[in-house]
Amino acid sequence: MAKAQQRIEQAEQGNFLRFLKNAEIRDASPLVVANDAAALAALDANEPSGWTIGDIGICPVGMGKCNVGGPSLTGETVKSAFAPVPGGPKNCVRCRFFITGPAFLGGLVAKFNSTGVLLLEASDRLRKIEAEINGIEDRAEPDELRLLGHAYSRRDTILEEVDTVAYNWHACFALVQRCKAALKVVNGGGLSLVLVGNAADLNAALEECSNFELYNAVCQVAAVYPNDSPVVSTLRRGRLLDVMLSRNGRRPVFATLSEDETLAVGNEFVNLLMARIGRAETVDLIEGRRMLESTGIEEDVDRLLSGQVGSPIKLATIRPLPPLDAVTPNVETEN
């Protein structure tokens, strides 16, 4: 499915590039989504051979103006100075030269999800450092109070990271919404060309979800969008799956696998669960609201995972040792 989706999206992106080369049609179409008018001007000022095409859109300046891709510093429209792209170089979703459209909707959704994982992780680190600071302040012990300055500094750094990632997340979401709106204008909202599904698939991808669903969304498209590193999502999802297996009397599997194996086997395992018991029931199973034995697919699960470890998956029952006085020592005597 991932390879089929990739082929479809590559074909659509090729069509979109040919469409962009016709300025008269392009400028009158809602399918071109840009952050700023400077993007369309850059299309005309640069040859298509100089455009950089990625998973989420096009840079018409060949990734060469990240240092002036941000907002105006003076507010003037002529000869004004511009700031660098917010969030750093190659943060395309916040660049004024960036262009995208419905042909890149799948990549934008993947970017939205992967940025959501980064925001989740940064927010978790912020909560931990704030709890640490509150604990030091409440205890008010002289030895610990000396550590407050360092803790405050770490909190400020994490706060800045959370702020940047949150802005990136919102910028990506805005682009997704604009691409959805463009499709509704053009063809009534049909999304089959870019998502291998329909509007319901996209809405499901964007609705509020559990941590597991977010991690899984990133992992499932990792083969299609390799530029969005799934390392964090792979490890977090693997941990949740291992906890579920342990809760159901089975040996944890994913902690023993390599990163690539954890991603591939995890995708196959979750796809099996989704296909057999549905999305909602899968989430209930992962989060402990349902046990595996109630699903009727224990044999299928054991069959899938048995080849991933060198011993049976079900945990062995530990036989208690006999009392010491019941043990007869085997003493050898010399002749």
Helix (H) or strand (E) holding 150: helix 148-187
Q: At what angle do helices 105-139 and 199-206 cross, to 10 degrees?
A: 10
> Is residue 210 within 8 Å of residue 287, measured between CB atoms?
yes
Q: What is the largest CA-CA distance in the chain?
A: 108
Q: Which residues pair with 82 in a beta bridge?
A: 72
pLDDT of residue 32: 87
How far is CA 187 from its chain centroid? 29
Alpha helical stretches, state H, 51-147: 105-139, 142-145
> Is residue 8 within 8 Å of residue 103, measured between CB atoms?
no
* 10-residue mean pLDDT series, the chain (335 residues): 60 72 64 90 89 92 94 68 93 96 89 93 95 90 84 95 96 93 66 42 62 93 76 95 96 92 95 95 96 93 78 44 47 44
> Is residue 94 within 8 Å of residue 87, measured between CB atoms?
yes
pLDDT of residue 11: 67
Query: pTM score, two decimals?
Result: 0.80
User: How far apart, in whole angstroms, are the C-alpha atoms of residue 59 and residue 54?
Assistant: 8
pLDDT of residue 108: 93
User: How far apart, in whole angstroms, are the C-alpha atoms of residue 286 and residue 244?
Assistant: 6
> Per DSSP, which regions of the chain are E strands?
33-34, 52-53, 58-59, 99-100
pLDDT of residue 209: 83
How far is CA 311 from its chain centroid? 32
pLDDT of residue 255: 92
